[in-house]
Amino acid sequence: MKGSYHVMVQNNRLRYEFDIRRNITIIQGDSATGKTTLVQMIALYAGLGESSGIELRCEKNCRTLDNPDWELILPAVHDTIIFLDEENLFLKTDQFARMVRESDNYFVIITRENLVNLPYSVEEIYGIHTAGKYHDMKRIYNEFYHIYSNGAFSSEIAPDAVIVEDSNSGYEFFHEVCAQKQIPCESAGGKSSIILRLKNTRKCHILVIADGASIGPEMNELAQFMKTHPDTRCYLPESFEWIILKSGLIDGNALQELLSHPEDFIESREYFNWERFFTHILIQYTKDTYLHYSKQRLNTAYLHDRARDAILKVMEHIHFK
């Protein structure tokens, strides 16, 4: 399944309206914000249709999954947006994570806990905002909002130290850039170790660079750390490969179209998260060129002045001095 889908579900009291654009969407928030009600309305419509008093509009089928036999049901469901409530204990199991990875469905999951087995995007973590009456009807209008906005995690910084999520080509690039400016740069060795590295770093202005496409499960803890350490900043692009593709080093109208709305090109069953897709595209576009890319070892061509400067220009709020 790929693409972006608009969902509208309403009854005579409530209206929800939102867009789904990736295989995993997370809805968080406190109690009494309408999260569970949304799932209940979709379940009621799936069972009774229009006779339920609920109207649901979407290009794709929408349904819930809360049956004890979910392991038998899920493999038979295809090309569907599936809504799940946090009361389903199977959400945190390895089996559920494996089946999501193999599925061609989109999943909207309501949970206040971190689903570490499912690397979801920071861009697809939402709360539900009640915007008051919907036009002139006596209906409450609910909409999604990003819990972690780009502004809060990509504001201006001249770092005293840099922590990079991985230890592959992205880390090699930033390590060399920082070395030229005599800025300490270390690898966290994985997104689950970022907080530990932050706690052990004795610098004031720390910059964390991590793949936004899969950092979602770590965002609660990371946001809490930033509240008590306001000089810490995060730069969370889709991935290092995405930065290179955005830099303009690689020409092509098809590439620019892909970057403008990647959801229309990324088949969720083939690419579980967008980082994998951008890695594939970068390798494909640079094959047999001087910019040939390998995730495991950085091609030194990316450290030459023109390439390095083009990549850093994408990071407009970050100043390596």
Q: What is the DSSP string of 62-86?
A: EEE---TTHHHHGGG--SEEEEE-T
Q: Are 207 and 163 in contact (CB under 8 A)?
A: yes
**Which residue is listed with tokens 């390590």?**
175
Half-sphere exposure of 22 (CA within 13 A, CB side): 25
Q: Which of 103, 84, 77 is nearest to 39 (CA)?
A: 84
**Predicted local confidence at residue 131, as pLDDT:** 66
pLDDT at 137 over 50: no
Predicted confidence (pLDDT) per residue in 270-310, tens digit: 998 899 999 999 999 999 999 999 999 999 999 999 999 99
In this structure, the number of other CB atoms found within 10 A of the CB of residue 200 comes to 9
**Predicted local confidence at residue 107, as pLDDT:** 96
Predicted confidence (pLDDT) per residue in 40-62, tens digit: 999 999 989 989 999 999 999 99
Domains of the chain, CATH where assigned: 5-147 (3.40.50), 152-314 (3.40.50)
CA distance 185 to 288: 31
Contacts of 101 (CB under 8 A, 6+ apart): 272
Q: Are 144 and 127 in contact (CB under 8 A)?
A: yes
- Looking at residues 117-127, what average pLDDT do you find? 91
Kindly report the average pLDDT of the chain as a whole number.
89
**In the chain, % of residues over pLDDT 90:** 68
Identity of the residue numbered 277: F
Q: Is the pTM of this model over 0.85?
A: yes
Q: CA angle, 195 as apex, 217 and 180 as ends, to 5°?
A: 115
Identity of the residue numbered 67: N
- Looking at residues 65-74, what average pLDDT do you find? 88
Judged on CB neighbours under 10 Å (0-12, 13-18, 19+), 150 is middle
pLDDT at 247 over 60: yes
CA 77 to chain centre: 24
Q: Which of 160, 152, 155 is nearest to 181 (CA)?
A: 160
**Predicted local confidence at residue 180, as pLDDT:** 93
**Predicted local confidence at residue 150, as pLDDT:** 54
**Predicted local confidence at residue 274, as pLDDT:** 94
**Predicted local confidence at residue 207, as pLDDT:** 94
- Looking at residues 116-132, what average pLDDT do you find? 85
pLDDT band at 33 (very low <50, low <70, confident <90, very high): low
**Predicted local confidence at residue 154, as pLDDT:** 59
End-to-end C-alpha distance for the chain, whole angstroms: 44
Q: Which of 146, 142, 178 is nearest to 163 (CA)?
A: 178
**Predicted local confidence at residue 32, as pLDDT:** 59
By residue count, the chain amounts to 321
pLDDT at 320 over 90: no
pLDDT band at 80 (very low <50, low <70, confident <90, very high): very high
pLDDT at 152 over 60: no
**Predicted local confidence at residue 280, as pLDDT:** 95
pLDDT band at 113 (very low <50, low <70, confident <90, very high): confident
Which 3 state secondary structure label does DSSP give 250? coil
Tell me the pairing of strands 233-235 and 185-187. Answer: unpaired
Predicted confidence (pLDDT) per residue in 171-217, tens digit: 999 999 999 999 999 999 999 999 999 998 888 899 999 999 999 99
pLDDT at 106 over 90: yes
pLDDT at 135 over 90: no
Q: Which helix (H) or strand (E) holds 17?
A: strand 14-20
Distances (CA, A) of 232 to 161, 178, 186, 280, 314: 10, 17, 15, 31, 20
pLDDT band at 36 (very low <50, low <70, confident <90, very high): confident
